[in-house]
């Protein structure tokens, strides 16, 4: 990751953040959002993903524990292109419902990418593991790159290999690569993803779970 850049300080207590990114580079990005004093930032959202096919303005929202007035908000970036920059702003608000942890599953930080998998031909491809969730979650975000010429859907499952229980079935994949958010109970365990397409096609995917 690059160096931390301060975006401002909170003028009131907040537990929901909305990140707006104007993607001016044809490249992929990972970014962390942190809070606190310079040199001791605490990450509240890690490895959020912006894919290179995105263009124009992208919105990514997430909830956290309650963060107090006057707290500094920071961001740091990692890119698949050296020294790339972005135009980013962060908004915030307060909601009665709070979360404490945002867990990314399926991010391959070493290559600024997501977990690779393939569709079947008019069928679901093989299950691919995204990683393990240690504590229950209550909201899921998913992201998958698809072939614009095919109508793709995904399944997300949890459990042991060969015994996956589908918790999100036949969910649509959006062609412009936006992150989709769904209120959904997510039990602890190993998480898996599979993609359906009209032809065999290599793709990537990741999920984020709020607990």
Contact (CB, 8 A) for 205 and 196: no
H-only helix segments in 5-124:
none
Tell me: pLDDT of 206 over 70: yes
The mean pLDDT value for 151-160 works out to: 87
Regarding pTM above 0.75, the answer is yes
SS (H, E, C) 4-27: CEEEEECCCCEEEEEEEEEECCCC
Judge whether residue 124 has pLDDT over 80.
yes
Cβ atoms of 168 and 156 closer than 8 Å: yes
Q: Could you tell me the domains of the chain?
A: 5-93 (2.60.120), 102-210 (2.60.120.260)
Q: How confident is the model at residue 171 (pLDDT cuts 50, 70, 90)?
A: confident
Instruction: Name which of 145, 203, 209 is nearest 177 in CA terms.
Output: 145
19-55: pLDDT as tens digits: 877 766 667 788 889 999 999 999 888 888 876 554 5
Question: What tokens does 94 get?
Answer: 């307060």
Cα(196)–Cα(201) distance, rounded to whole angstroms? Answer: 9
Q: Give the rounded distance of the alpha carbon of 9 from its chain centre.
A: 24
C-alpha–C-alpha distance, residues 95 and 64, integer Å: 10
How does pLDDT run across 89-113, given as a tens digit for each residue?
777 787 776 667 888 999 888 888 8
pLDDT digits (tens, 9 = 90+) for 175-193: 655 677 888 889 999 999 9
pLDDT at position 198, please? 79
């Amino acid at each position: 990751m690059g160096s931390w850049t301060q975006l401002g300080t909170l003028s009131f207590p907040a537990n929901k953040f909305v990140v707006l990114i104007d993607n001016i580079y044809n490249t992929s990005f990972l970014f962390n959002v942190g809070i606190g004093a310079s040199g001791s930032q605490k990450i509240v959202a890690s490895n959020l993903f912006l894919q290179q096919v995105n263009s124009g303005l992208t919105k990514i929202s997430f909830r956290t524990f309650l963060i107090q007035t006057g707290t500094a908000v920071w961001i740091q970036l990692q890119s698949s292109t050296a020294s790339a920059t972005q135009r980013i702003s962060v908004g915030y608000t307060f909601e009665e419902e709070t979360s404490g942890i945002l867990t990314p599953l399926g991010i391959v930080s070493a290559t600024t990418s997501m977990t690779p998998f393939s569709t079947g031909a008019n069928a679901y491809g093989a299950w691919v593991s995204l990683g393990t969730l240690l504590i229950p979650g209550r909201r899921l975000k998913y992201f998958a790159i698809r072939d614009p010429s095919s109508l793709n859907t995904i399944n997300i499952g949890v459990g042991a290999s060969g015994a996956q229980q589908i918790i999100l079935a036949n969910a649509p994949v959006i062609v412009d690569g936006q992150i989709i958010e769904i209120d959904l109970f997510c039990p602890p365990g190993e998480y898996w993803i599979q993609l359906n397409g009209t032809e065999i096609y290599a793709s990537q995917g990741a999920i984020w779970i709020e607990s």
